[in-house]
Amino acid sequence: MTYLTLAEIREEIVPNDIWTLDNELEKILKRQISSLPSRSNSSESEYKYPEDKASLRGFLDRLFTRHFFQIQNAILQQDTFERLVSAVQHRNVTVADIGCGPAVASLAILNLASNVCCKLNKKIYANIILNDISVEALAVGRKMLETYAKHLYGISGLKIIALNTPFPGSIIQLRRISNMLDPYDICCLPYVLDLVKEDFSYENIRQRLEILAGLCKPTGFILNLQDKFRESFARRIGHLLKASVNKLSLRQRIYDSTNSCDEYSYDYFKIAFFPDQKCYGVDSRFCLQK
């Protein structure tokens, strides 16, 4: 088995620790933005959770790259990176992208998997389950994934299933898909728990996330992100699941039409839950006893 270090992949994807989109994805993103209608004087709250074409354009234009890099940076930490490599080694990567919007997390994961494939000289089949209430976002996400996958090394096949039942109501469908295709390697809920908390208690959220964990492979993981201003919420979710909570930072470089660039720094929180290290409320020491 070829050994691959985190440092090798980070140097490939993030030279000098500054994040930029690759040329192909940048072209796809620009084409998609230009194809959607614009809305003047829109605020970030209007496009943070896009539901129509105009708010979707705002999201793609102002938030896509930040969320894309946050997902990649979160996975490119030792605990989650090793699990991604394991999935690639088994030549199959199955992702549940919950609250996906225009498939930001799926695009980020597919890019990482392709880079790992290139280093290990592997080819994989990818199953992507997109889950969002916005039919417009699901359609755009599917189109971007299908277009981008054609340019990625090592992606020998791609199956996309779209669900527009809001989470956690979609758990029944996610379970059915997991049984039909493959247990999940990654269940990604970048910012969707903020919305779920409006209708469910913390205990309800814990129960549903543990159900979701049961649909993952033993080496899979659940990934949630929270803004730096939501630290108390992030740590509450981490405590409920007995999951790791880490504050991460990244620097993003953005070029304008004159090829000059600005750098932006972001802090945010990563909550990672590993089903093989937990036994649903029981200390993991007891799970490992024979």
Q: Which pLDDT tens digit goes with each residue over 241-286?
A: 889 899 999 887 665 555 666 777 889 999 999 987 654 433 333 3
- The total of structural domains in the chain comes to 1
Structure tokens at 103: 């498939």
Q: Is residue 19 domain-resident? A: no
Q: What is the pLDDT of residues 196-206, one digit of tens each?
A: 888 889 999 99
Beta bridge partners of 263: 253
Q: Is residue 3 domain-resident? A: no
Q: What is the pLDDT of residues 10-26, one digit of tens each?
A: 988 998 888 889 999 99
Residue 151: its pLDDT value, please? 96
Q: Which CATH number do you get for residue 171? A: 3.40.50.150
Q: Is residue 51 domain-resident? A: no
Beta carbons of 128 and 103 less than 8 angstroms apart: yes
**82: containing domain:** 70-287
Q: Is residue 63 domain-resident? A: no
Q: What is the pLDDT of residues 152-179, one digit of tens each?
A: 999 999 999 999 999 999 999 999 999 9
Beta carbons of 181 and 217 less than 8 angstroms apart: no
Q: What is the pLDDT of residues 73-132, one digit of tens each?
A: 999 999 999 999 999 999 999 999 999 999 999 999 999 999 999 999 999 999 999 999
Q: Is residue 132 domain-resident? A: yes
Q: What is the pTM of this model?
A: 0.90
CA distances from 213 to 52, 119, 202, 265, 279 (A): 31, 29, 16, 32, 10
Q: Is residue 53 domain-resident? A: no
How far separated are the first and last CA of the chain, in Å rounded? 29
Q: Is residue 181 domain-resident? A: yes
Q: Is residue 32 domain-resident? A: no
